[in-house]
Amino acid sequence: MNDLTRYAYDARSGAYVGTVEAHDDPMNPGSFLEPAFSTTIAPGDAPAGQVAVFASGAWAFVADHRGETWFKGPEPVLVDFLGDPAAQDLTAEPVLPPAPPPSSCSKLGLKRAFTEKGLWETVRFMISQDPDMQEDWDLAVELRITDPIVKKAVFGLAQAGIPLSDADVQNLVTRANELVA
């Protein structure tokens, strides 16, 4: 008696899909009709998280994350392929873009940031000499990078030989937020 068990695999991926039986060939007694995409070689038990794949006449074990959700940056991707998703630039957790830098800060934070840079006395003097700056400083709760008082302070520092680039101003505002957090 012959063993008619065959081990079937997916036509595209080669992944093991189960057993099938070969049938007697009515046109050729003693021979069998072999089911397509099957082999007489048993795949063995796949370790957890892997699947047996038939290729080049042998079984190999491959990572199997099909049905899992991985991420391309912040976007979820349902895995529908065999192998390591990381090889396709997918991650197990979403990768969120960095938060935009702050565009505003409190007066206290800005004062502390200027103090750290050794600039507060110069800025405070500029504020005291300009009634509009003084009023803006006194009435402000939050200061934006685009506020006139900030622009005047940057201009005044440049006039005093202390030029600040846009990146320097952004760093001051970022630091101001850190100092009051």
Each residue's pLDDT tens digit, 27-63: 998 888 999 999 999 999 999 999 999 999 999 999 9
Q: What is the arithmetic mean of pLDDT over 156-178? A: 95
pLDDT band at 102 (very low <50, low <70, confident <90, very high): very high
Q: What is the arithmetic mean of pLDDT over 73-80? A: 96
Q: At 163, list the tokens.
A: 């030029």
CA angle 22, 50, 88 (to 5 degrees): 115
Look at residue 3 in the predicted model and tell me its pLDDT. 82
Look at residue 181 in the predicted model and tell me its pLDDT. 83
pLDDT band at 2 (very low <50, low <70, confident <90, very high): low
pLDDT band at 1 (very low <50, low <70, confident <90, very high): very low
Q: Decide if 31 contacts 49 (C-beta within 8 A).
A: no
Mean pLDDT of the chain: 94
Q: Decide if 76 contacts 69 (C-beta within 8 A).
A: yes
